[in-house]
Amino acid sequence: MLKIADFELLQDDYTDTLVERMQDDFAIEEEMEKGHCYEVTLQDIKFKCAYTDDEMTGIVRTCVAIIKELIAINANGYTKTKFNNFKSEGAKDALQQLSNINGLYNDYKTEKLEKLFAELTTYTRVGGAYLMLLAAPGFQQVINAVFERMLDDSDDENMWFSCLYFMIRGAMRMNSDDV
């Protein structure tokens, strides 16, 4: 079982604390009614997005639930070896890259993970072709990266916070504009 299962943020409801942390770290002066505009960096990509406080709460809760589901997938026998067998060997073009990201995600996804992903899209307000071609592959890649780190079975709590923080920022990027 992954050590992250003992991570305190997954045991108690720290949603409000995490939402406040995102606001403190990324909210910019342009405050909107019942929400905030954010300027966020994910890896080397800087983007702006706007979410209501309720949407941010939903994003945070759903990301925590996704991590819990990834723990359950691992507990049910999905291993690092199996994950590595499906990793791409370097895509030659954009279509193959999308196919590889989707194929890896599809190898371990569960019905519950799909429901959580669908729930997340309601908070990020994405759908249709934009979801299928841009937002979904981007967030699937975030989930793949977090799951790969989780499968290393580290007991470093700071690393787990970083994974959750990374996933939340990845979700925020689903409906954003690059800066």
Looking at the predicted structure, is the pLDDT value of residue 154 above 70? Answer: no
Tokens 């941010």: give the residue.
56
pLDDT tens sequence across 81-123:
888 877 655 556 666 666 777 788 888 999 999 999 999 999 9
Give 130's Cβ-side CA count (13 Å radius): 10
Kindly list the distances between the CA atom of residue 115 and the CA atoms of 109, 127, 154, in Å, as whole numbers in the listed order.
10, 14, 27
For residue 76, count other CB atoms closer than 10 A to its CB. Answer: 9
Residue 63 has which token pair? Answer: 């990301």
Q: CB under 8 Å, gap of 24 or more: what pairs does 126-129 form?
A: 126/174, 126/175
Name the range with the highest mean pLDDT among 4-13, 21-30, 170-179: 170-179
Q: What is the pTM of this model?
A: 0.87
Please give the residue that has the higher pLDDT: either 98 or 177: 177
Q: Summarize the confidence of residues 31-59 as an average pLDDT.
A: 92
Please give the residue that has the higher pLDDT: either 38 or 137: 38
* Confidence at 1, pLDDT banded by 50, 70, 90: very low
